[in-house]
Amino acid sequence: MEEKQIHTPVMLERTIELLAPAIERPGAVLVDATLGMGGHSEAFLERFPQLTLVGLDRDTDALAIAGERLARFGDRVHLVHTVYDTILESVQDLGFSEVQGILFDLGVSSLQLDRVERGFSYSKDAPLDMRMDATSELTAEQVLAEYSEADLRRIFKDYGEERLAPRYAKKIVERRQVAPLTTSAELVQIITDATPVAIQRKGHPAKRVFQALRIEVNQELAVLERAIPAAAELLAVGGRMVVLSYQSLEDRLVKRFLASATTSSAPAGLPVELPEHHPDFRLLVRGAELASDDEKAANPRSIPVRLRAAERTRRFA
């Protein structure tokens, strides 16, 4: 299938390097919490012949492609149609009480961007959909038609970090009183018309608004905030988790959780740290790692990526 040929997994070799010590042992289970078209998963299954994979995705199109791609690995693969904040229940329902590796490759997928009719791209005209799961109800068109001006302003500001959020929200409400917004081109035109030329020169004016709508439609930040602690709970001692984020809001949530999980809970000034205060995780990389210059040149999707990783060091009961 054509999509399989164009999808290049981001930071694949580094991801393998970080997860390998945990998943190369017999009987290891890796959860690809954002399976997509299965590029990362295929590489892991090839490199580690004894590995069992659990792949989660909310996108039925992606699951179909990944299922075809990974079919040759037989019963080593378990695919689940779900949003990844159900990671704990989904994996336990398959009979696995703990796992050795977890991978999150966040954000919109190559498949979703490349299929114009999904409406994720501001550079191509399409219906205002933006659902990662086509079986869910809320669409970007509904958000633009039904949310109050205050709510539109809030999501543009909070999820898009857009300084012109009040102006854009006002213009959208004015327009929908005349005619509904149904296509991405209509929305782009409203935003462009409302953006000073000097700001347009710094980048596409619709980029942050489209990001904000996508996050709202799919509840991405709320899902991530629930998913990371659940994933951490699922990891066995010695298990490792790698997270690839593509925008600052995602990365901030991951950073905050890992900072807490890798910090001692001992009160300041305690002469000896008691075992119950030891952190349950240790960081595997300092800060957030970026893709190499070579990878950025070869795979533009890797340009904004931020990689963070941690290992479970103990499970204190």
Going by the annotation, the residues of the binding site for S-adenosyl-L-methionine are 38-40, 57, 84, 105, 112
3-state secondary structure 49-85: CCCEEEEEECCHHHHHHHHHHHHHHHHHEEEEECCHH
Tokens of 211: 């990001």
Which DSSP category does 160 fall into?
Answer: H
φ, ψ (nearest 5 deg) of residue 92: -65, -35
Contact between 119 and 126 under an 8 Å Cβ cutoff? The reply is: yes
Instruction: Write the CA distances from 246 to 112, 277, 300, integer angstroms.
Output: 15, 33, 12
How many helices, marked H, and strands, marked E, lie in the chain? 15, 7
* Residue 128 three-state SS: coil
Tokens of 18: 């970080």
Residue stretches of the annotated binding site = 38-40, 57, 84, 105, 112
Contact between 1 and 38 under an 8 Å Cβ cutoff? The reply is: no
Contact between 12 and 40 under an 8 Å Cβ cutoff? The reply is: yes
Tokens of 230: 């659940």
Tokens of 128: 């205002």
